[in-house]
Chain A
Amino acid sequence: MPSGPRSLLSALLLLGLLSPGCALFGKPPERRPPADLWEAAETASTAERRASIRMAARAEDERVRGEAGSARTLAEGALRLDSRNPYAYLVLARCQADLGNRGAALAAAAEAQGRFRAEEPWNHTWQDRAARLTDDLESRPARPTPTGRGVPGRRLDPVLESGP
């Protein structure tokens, strides 16, 4: 039998085998991405992760208030508590972007994406946010990164915004 019809046959066979199982057991419960950082903290699985997300949430609050420098320090503090926290990497990326540190922002955004994929593969909402940030940063022209406190760049919309 040629491979095309063979593949179709295998798919139909599998569907036939699985359908009774789905009917019996129903759909597995969907995991809903947290709406914001505070909700993400509530659903965190460890105390360290919870504390780290809460600190990242504080960082985001600072950033939204226009205090990118202090926000960055808080975001880094969140990573000190839990250095694998994807939410903290995302907030750090936004802070770095606000400060005009494009390279650092891209690195943090990439890490946020990687960490979300590794730890919360079902969390497409936040993965997309990290991806959008990466796209946004890559679309901007690179410019020399100032040292010290940095120059505030275009401030991005808060992580808390909903939408695609």
Chain B
Amino acid sequence: MRRRVAAIAVAGVLGTVLAAVWGVRVLRDLDAQIEARFAGRMFSVPSTVYAAPLVLYPGLDADRVGLLDRLERLRYERVRGPAVDLGQYAELPDGLRIGLRPFRYPYRNDPGGVVDVLLDEDRRIIGIEDESGLELSLEEVEPEIIAELHGPIRADRRLVLLEEFPAVLVDTVLAVEDQRFFDHPGVDVRRIVGAFLANLRAGRIVQGGSTLTQQLVKNLYLTPERTIRRKIREAVMAILLERRHSKQELLEVYLNEVYMGQRGSVAVHGMGEAAFHYLARDVRDIGLSEAALLVGLIKGPNLYSPYSRPEVTQARRDVVLKAIRDHHRITDEEYERAVAVSVEVREPSRDENLAPYFADHLHADLTRVYGEDILQSEGLAIYTTLDVRLQRLAERSVVRGLERLEARIPALRSEEFPLQAALVALIPRTGEILALVGGRDYPTGPYNRATHARRQPGSVFKPVVALAALSRRGADPPSHTLASPLLDEPLEVKAPGLIWSPVNYDGNFRGEVTLRTAVESSLNVPVARLGLDVGPERIIATARRLGVQGRLRPVPSIALGVFEVTLLEAARAYAVLAAEGLRPELRSYVEVLDEKGEILEHKPLEFSRVFTPEETYLVTSILEGAVDRGTARGLRRMGFEGPIAAKTGTTSSYRDAWFLAYVPGLLIGVWVGFDDGRSIRAPGSVAALPIAAEFLLEAVGPEGRGPFVRPSGVVEAEVDLPTRSREYFLAGTEPDRERTGPIQRLFDWLGRRDGF
């Protein structure tokens, strides 16, 4: 008997020791698990991509830039006024009153504020004033979010410091979720017992016993299964967590982590994101009623979602308000006021498909610098060059243009391999990409034709040949002028194994034409002759100076664009013409900030002068002529009246249709075609021009943006040509003794041939 007792005692001690050892081991593992998460990065915060802000200034056409649409897209609440809060706007008799939200720009934290934007009867801004009546020369409306770069765990979160959360929100969370948060060690035994009894009485689960810390443990570390084992583990981990971290730290993590619903496939985490998602408000600015609404969602964000059953949301909010009143956190008066406020949530307007091709292009740029992991998890803020209004306009123009073309030529309709188009708009001198469309429909085809599809440029390359001919050759004058004659007669170029015999689009020959006419009218034969005169090597050198990077073979057909480029490359080449000889480095973003707001990268404006303004002006003059007299005159028929330079392009068998055009300060390029190279049965003037025209008419108006200014180094001289009597020349290359006016003739007589 004694022996049995001793054996049992030994077994007991042994068992206890083993259990203790095992327990310590388990505790150590749990502790390590907890600390691994807290020591590293707590949360994966996706990077946010912003469009360019809208700058308001006197003289700006508020309707043309879509100011009201922008405020709506930014989820500014329209109110009757005259008083507005931040995040609201009101239409007043003489303009708009806008409560601009705070926003963190790259180099400054704008606190926001109320401004009056005064408008005339044409809806042009005539003044901007702040609340005190001080006149402002400029004001910015914060940029829209165009994308978030998520990782495999698609979650949105706006990190907020504990001290930034409104006290009313923190109090409400604690009152409803964990009243004794600051007193318990991670587990609240009283709460557990109370919940047990309540659930027993009700015969079902009506009350939870978990503390905030336990909820945090469950969300961060454990599965949501409801088992005894999991609950024990949760309790132990909560205690360990509390031993390692302060209450403030844990509360902050909780408020940034708590699951608050879904936005499509993306989970909404944290009160900061929830305030933006449901209320279009910064969480720092919310009041009691809104705080109660958000806290009410914690128990079941999808169950109580205001987007499915707003009456349930309101009822739940009122329950929360009652609870905090009953716990004396608010007065009866505060309760009555809050309950009287009806629940108003804002539909999330963040369009995940806003500028998807642009976002992809940007993503590729950024990934090269930062890597996928950082982009997806470190909450970078990326400030881009995108103009949302122009982007939407571009997308609309592409879709409508293709539909119109298919209506005109029904044989182009194809379900399986639809007709495609791409569009790029940029600021020539700065290289900023304002809009980018890579295809007709991103969801069905994210292939970015603007940046990846290499197609033959055809006739849109002719201005490059002209530039090669019209620009100086080092210290030597150019080989040609705009008035240089070119033969438009049958041409055969013999090469080993083949004979190249270009023809004009209409099959006709015109005898002799000027260089200007050859390019304005897009005549293949005289331009081919020009290319032979200039030489393929010089043409290639010119193209390289314009930034063309693809493979260029020094063959005669290069003059007619028989090689491949992307639309973006072609646009950049034309940007040099539009920028009067400056070649910009293209930019899709300007600044990257880390989540603390520190500048990680500034992508600077870079440009180099590759041609003189005089040389490029001559080509611009040709392209203006193409609109007034040549193959781009469809622009005039469609209503564009102002100065504009443009070139159509069509490749053999109508495989590609191109249109590139520019006004001062804006360039647009359009390509239309099938991915498999089938004929689109229409030239550039029919397929691509109308898309560009629609875009331009709305982007800059029919009057355009003013004239192209002739540089002083370009002179106008009399010429004796069938098509015109005056022509532009680089100074010093104009024909001899062809002068304007009697004064020059007087000087000639007096022996001063070079003028006064």
Binding site for B on A (CB under 8 A): 3, 6-7, 9-10, 13-14, 41, 46-48, 50-51, 54-55, 58, 67, 69-70, 72-74, 76-77, 79-84, 92, 96, 101, 104, 107, 110-111, 114, 117-119, 121, 148-149
Contacts and interface: CB of A to CB of B under 8 A. Distances in A.
A17 B579 CA distance: 42
Contact of A79 (B138, B429, B613): B429
Contact of B430 (A46, A80, A107, A121): A80
A69 B107 contact: yes
Interface string B515-554: 0000000000000000000000000000000000000000
Contacts of B52: 80
Contact of A114 (B591, B599, B613): B613
Interface in B587-604: 590-591, 599-602, 604
Nearest to B598: A149
B138 A6 contact: no
A118 B712 contact: yes
B167 to A, nearest CB: 33
A138 to B, nearest CB: 16
B747 to A, nearest CB: 7
Nearest to B58: A47
A83 B613 contact: no
Contact of B711 (A3, A84, A118): A118
Given A41-B137, A149-B602, A83 B608 contact: no
A107 B608 contact: yes
A55 B751 contact: no
B301 interface: no
Given A50-B57, A67-B107, 19 more contacts: A3-B751, A6-B751, A7-B751, A7-B752, A10-B752, A41-B137, A46-B59, A50-B58, A55-B138, A73-B591, A79-B430, A83-B427, A104-B604, A107-B607, A107-B608, A107-B609, A111-B607, A117-B712, A118-B613
Contacts of B137: 41, 51, 54
B664 A73 contact: no
Interface in B667-725: 706, 709, 711-712
Contacts of B428: 83
B555 interface: no
A10 B605 contact: no
Which 3 residue pairs spanning A and B have beta carbons closest together? A47-B59, A70-B107, A51-B57
Contact of A10 (B430, B604, B664, B747): B747
A58 B582 CA distance: 26
B432 interface: yes
Contacts of A41: 137
A84 B429 contact: yes
Nearest to A71: B107
Interface string B736-756: 000000000001001110001
Most buried by B among A46, A51, A101: A51
Nearest to A110: B609
22 contacts: A6-B750, A14-B756, A46-B706, A47-B58, A51-B55, A54-B138, A67-B107, A69-B107, A72-B604, A73-B106, A76-B605, A82-B665, A83-B427, A83-B429, A83-B579, A83-B665, A84-B664, A107-B609, A118-B709, A118-B711, A118-B712, A119-B709
A70 B605 contact: no
Contacts of B605: 76, 79, 92
Most buried by B among A41, A73, A96: A73
Contacts of A10: 747, 750-752
A87 to B, nearest CB: 14
B590 A76 contact: yes
Nearest to B591: A73
Nearest to B105: A73
Contacts of B352: none
Nearest to A2: B751
B494 interface: no
A136 B619 CA distance: 35
B108 interface: yes
Interface of B: 52, 55, 57-60, 106-108, 137-138, 427-430, 432, 579, 582, 590-591, 599-602, 604-609, 613, 664-665, 706, 709, 711-712, 747, 750-752, 756
Contacts of A79: 429-430, 605
Contacts, number: 102
B599 A104 contact: no
B360 to A, nearest CB: 23
A73 B613 contact: no
A81 B604 CA distance: 16
A76 B430 contact: yes
Nearest to A67: B107
B602 A72 contact: yes
A84 B604 contact: no
A73 B600 CA distance: 14
A125 to B, nearest CB: 19
A51 B138 contact: yes
Given A51-B137, A107-B608, A148-B601, A84 B55 contact: no
Most buried by A among B427, B665, B711: B665
Given A41-B137, A92-B605, A70 B711 contact: no
A84 B665 contact: yes
A114 B590 CA distance: 25
B7 to A, nearest CB: 74
A51 B613 CA distance: 25
Contacts of A149: 599, 602
A42 to B, nearest CB: 10
A77 B750 CA distance: 53
A25 to B, nearest CB: 17
Contacts of B751: 3, 6-7, 10
A47 B346 CA distance: 36
Contacts of B709: 118-119
B391 to A, nearest CB: 15
Contacts of A73: 106-107, 590-591, 602
Contact of B57 (A3, A6, A54, A69): A54
A9 to B, nearest CB: 8
A115 to B, nearest CB: 9
A7 to B, nearest CB: 7
A55 B58 CA distance: 13
A36 B675 CA distance: 55
Contacts of A81: 55, 57
A23 to B, nearest CB: 20
B549 to A, nearest CB: 21
Nearest to A57: B137
A79 B138 CA distance: 14
A52 to B, nearest CB: 9
A84 B747 CA distance: 36
Nearest to A114: B613
Contact of A80 (B58, B138, B427, B747): B427
Contacts of B138: 51, 54-55, 58
A37 to B, nearest CB: 11
Contacts of B429: 79, 83-84
A73 B587 CA distance: 14
Contacts of A114: 613
Nearest to B53: A77
B135 to A, nearest CB: 11
Contact of B432 (A54, A80, A82): A80
A41 to B, nearest CB: 7
Contacts of B57: 47, 50-51, 54, 81
Nearest to A13: B750
Given A50-B58, A54-B57, A83 B602 contact: no
B608 A48 contact: no
A101 B602 contact: no
A50 B430 contact: no
A118 B707 CA distance: 14
A83 B427 CA distance: 8
A6 B58 CA distance: 57
Nearest to A53: B137
A94 to B, nearest CB: 14
Contacts of B712: 117-118, 121
